[in-house]
Amino acid sequence: EPEVTQTPSHQVTQMGQEVILRCVPISNHLYFYWYRQILGQKVEFLVSFYNNEISEKSEIFDDQFSVERPDGSNFTLKIRSTKLEDSAMYFCASSEATWGEQYFGPGTRLTVT
C-alpha cells in the first residue's frame, strides 16, 4: 500500500540554525500539507500546497518557514532560523484531490536546543 514517507525521523538542531524536513508524498497525489504537533498538544495546520504554490497558510507559518517541491517526488519544509518553540513533531500529508482523504507520514521530531 502506498504511503507517505518522511526523513529524518528525528532531527536535533541548535537555535538559529536552518533545518529542512523532507517528505515524499504518495506518487499520484497533488495536494500537500504540513502540520505540527507540539509535545502533548493538538495537531495544528501549517500550510497547504498545490500546483507549486501555497494554497493556504496558518498564522504559525511566518517568514521563517517556507515550502518547496524541488522535484517530482519530494516536498520540503524549511525553517530558516529555528527557535526553541519550533520543537515539535512535524507531519506531512498528501491527498489525491482537495476533498480527498489526507494520508499522513510518520512525522519528523524536531528538537531545537
Partner 1 sequence: GNSVTQMEGPVTLSEEAFLTINCTYTATGYPSLFWYVQYPGEGLQLLLKATKADDKGSNKGFEATYRKETTSFHLEKGSVQVSDSAVYFCALSDRSGTYKYIFGTGTRLKVLA
| Piece of the chain touching partner 1 by CB under 8 A; list 14-22, 34-42, 64-72, 80-88 | 34-42
The residue written with cell numbers 500546483 in the block is 51
**Closer CB to partner 1, 14 or 51, in the complex:** 51
Does residue 104 belong to the site contacting partner 1 (CB under 8 A)? yes
Residue 22 neighbours by CB under 8 Å, 6+ apart = 6, 7, 8, 74, 75, 76
96 in Cβ contact with 29 (< 8 Å): yes
* Residues found near partner 1 in the complex (CB under 8 A): 31, 33, 35, 41-45, 48, 50, 55-56, 91, 93, 95, 98-107
